[in-house]
Amino acid sequence: MIADRIKNLREQKNMTQSELARCLGITRSSVNAWELGISVPSTQYIVELASLFKISTDYLLCVDTTATVAVDGLKEEDIELLYQIIKHLRDKNS
């Protein structure tokens, strides 16, 4: 559930509801309502939350279990090495 994901991500960053609200320019009660499942964030805030927590919007929306890895600043050969490691781990766990 999106409510649980938001709360867990916030807690993993050791943020209070007020701190998260400040980052997003909203009220603490809005964050609280999201975490209680009373309301859901608008598309704008889904995107902002994903960016803030460095996750995909799919993960936040519980679409699937896909995760992203930021490769900014890495050389092409380093990115290729990461793909090889991921493939190895998938093969090993299959």
**Using CA atoms, how far apart are residues 50 and 43, in angstroms rounded to an integer?**
11
Place of tokens 């050389």: 75
Contacts of 94 (CB under 8 A, 6+ apart): none
pTM of the model: 0.67
**Using CA atoms, how far apart are residues 7 and 31, in angstroms rounded to an integer?**
9
Q: Where are the domains positioned within the chain?
A: 2-60
Residue type, position 17, single letter:
Q
Query: Within 13 Å and on the Cβ side, how many CA atoms surround 92?
Result: 6
Q: Which CATH number fits domain 2-60: 1.10.150.80, 3.90.110.10, 2.40.30.10, 1.10.260.40?
A: 1.10.260.40
Contacts of 53 (CB under 8 A, 6+ apart): 9, 13, 60
Q: What is the pLDDT along the chain (94 residues), one digit of tens a residue?
A: 999 999 999 999 999 999 999 999 999 999 999 999 999 999 999 999 999 999 989 889 988 766 678 889 999 999 999 999 999 999 998 8
